[in-house]
Amino acid sequence: MAQAPQDQIAPLLTSEGWELLASLGPYREDKAFELNSALRKAGHSPELVSAVLTQSRLRTKAELKFGEFARSMLFTQAGLEQATRLNVAARHAERFAQAGIRHVADLGCGLAADSLALASMDITVTAVEMDETTAACATVNLIPFPNATVVHSDATAVSLEGVDGVWLDPARRTTSTSGTKRIWDPEAFSPPLSFVESLAATGRAVGVKMGPGMPHESVPADCEAQWVSVAGDVTEVTLWFNAVRRPGIRRAALLLGPQGAAELTSAEDFDGGPVAPVGPPEGYLYEPDGAVIRAGLVADVARELNGHLLDEHIAYICAPELVDTPFARAYKVLEVMPYNVKALKAWVKDNGIGVLDIKKRGTSVTPEELRKQLLAGVRTGKKAGTTTATLVLTRIGEDRVAIAVEPV
């Protein structure tokens, strides 16, 4: 039977556990069994060895979100899955700092990623967490910041006297011995969206992190909704109320990547904004970033590119010229074919294609299955196909098409 989260953390909150954890290097799966045996032979209890190895694995995994800070933090599996990346948490904290907020309550702080960012900007932080094990992790993670305090309490019951800003990252997963499961209903979150709205009604500066799949009709009318993409992965939509809401912005797509940050905004509500024309596949095909799509800003990008949609319901843009944009990935259109498996298989063979990337939108085709079909019978060895190709499968009106493209 899998150990409960508290059984994986409690042994670490001892001098023996903390010192043993600190003595380990980066976690390696291929060395885990050998290390487990060595630690037990050294006299450490099975419970401590299990806790230390689990934490070592989580720390190594957490470096993707927390960098080198992960080496001195404590994690739970469920907490790490929902934890904000540190570079995104810094953006959250900047909102409060720029609005002049001095004391933020982080309600449902989890592992305290956002509290870390807020505290590092000299903002007083009251980090509130209902789960005892997670609160213990947050306490350890915030030790370097005397201006941060962890409170083990229900986020909906804690006093907010003296607090001028509130940050929330509601729990959107349930945890059981078989793992974690995502919750989709905003009113089933902990705390629910209605509680967030009640806080905003007090006039305080309020920010809340929600899942990126949040439907537009669930977004409250009196906030700014900002979808965030990190290296092409849409991580969240943040709702900003009152002092941390920017004037004249209803929705936004913020892209963070190796080249820096880029943002596209609109003052229009979700049913407003420009309408993009529809036209044929030609010139260059653009695949908008997921945050742009989630924020309903595809038509805005099409206008910037002087382009058009292939279909009014599908987020593919074509434009006659190549335009450099951070908001969409560009491909040169090489050939447009009707979607026909037999004909596409012949196309693969005639062009000596050995590696095939398939992208799709607006069609039920499974790329992995189609790839197997199209490459079936392709020779291997010295006479194998050496050409790499990319196919975009989509729908134009009622017609299914396959567009051969070349990444720019």
Question: Within this chain, do residues 239 and 208 fall inside the same structural domain, yes or no?
Answer: yes
pLDDT at 1: 40
* 67 part of a folded domain: no
* 48 part of a folded domain: yes
Cis ω before 338 (30° cut-off from 0): no
CA distances 234 to 4, 67, 230, 253, Å, are: 30, 19, 6, 10
3-state secondary structure of 209: strand
What the block records as the tokens of 402 is 């396959």
* 379 part of a folded domain: yes
pLDDT at 372: 94
What the block records as the tokens of 203 is 């006039």
Q: Report yes or no: 94 and 26 within 8 Å, Cβ to Cβ.
A: no
Provide the residue type at 167 as one letter: W
pLDDT at 381: 47
Question: Within this chain, do residues 229 and 343 fall inside the same structural domain, yes or no?
Answer: no
Question: Within this chain, do residues 130 and 215 fall inside the same structural domain, yes or no?
Answer: yes
Listed residue (187, 203, 204) closest to 195, CA to CA = 187
344: containing domain: 335-407
Measured CA to CA, the distance from residue 223 to residue 99 in angstroms comes to 15
pLDDT at 175: 63
The residue out of 238, 266, 294 marking a domain boundary is: 266
Question: Within this chain, do residues 123 and 232 fall inside the same structural domain, yes or no?
Answer: yes
Question: Within this chain, do residues 313 and 181 fall inside the same structural domain, yes or no?
Answer: no
Question: Within this chain, do residues 87 and 50 fall inside the same structural domain, yes or no?
Answer: no
Measured CA to CA, the distance from residue 115 to residue 125 in angstroms comes to 6
Question: Within this chain, do residues 156 and 289 fall inside the same structural domain, yes or no?
Answer: no
What the block records as the tokens of 315 is 């987020």
Measured CA to CA, the distance from residue 265 to residue 246 in angstroms comes to 11
Question: Within this chain, do residues 354 and 326 fall inside the same structural domain, yes or no?
Answer: no
Question: Within this chain, do residues 341 and 360 fall inside the same structural domain, yes or no?
Answer: yes
Question: Within this chain, do residues 114 and 231 fall inside the same structural domain, yes or no?
Answer: yes
* 73 part of a folded domain: no
Question: Within this chain, do residues 262 and 164 fall inside the same structural domain, yes or no?
Answer: yes
| pTM confidence score | 0.89
Question: Within this chain, do residues 179 and 230 fall inside the same structural domain, yes or no?
Answer: yes
Name the domain count of the chain: 4
Q: Report yes or no: 44 and 20 within 8 Å, Cβ to Cβ.
A: yes
| pLDDT, tens digit only, all 408 positions of the chain | 455 556 689 999 999 999 999 999 889 999 999 999 999 999 999 999 999 999 999 999 999 999 999 999 999 998 999 899 999 999 999 999 999 999 999 999 999 999 999 999 999 999 999 999 999 999 999 999 999 999 999 999 999 999 999 999 987 766 656 666 776 777 777 788 999 999 999 999 999 999 999 999 999 999 999 999 999 999 999 999 999 999 999 999 999 998 899 999 999 999 998 999 999 999 999 999 999 999 999 999 999 999 999 999 999 999 999 999 999 999 999 999 999 999 999 999 999 999 999 999 999 999 999 999 999 876 554 455 578 999 999 999 999 999 999 999
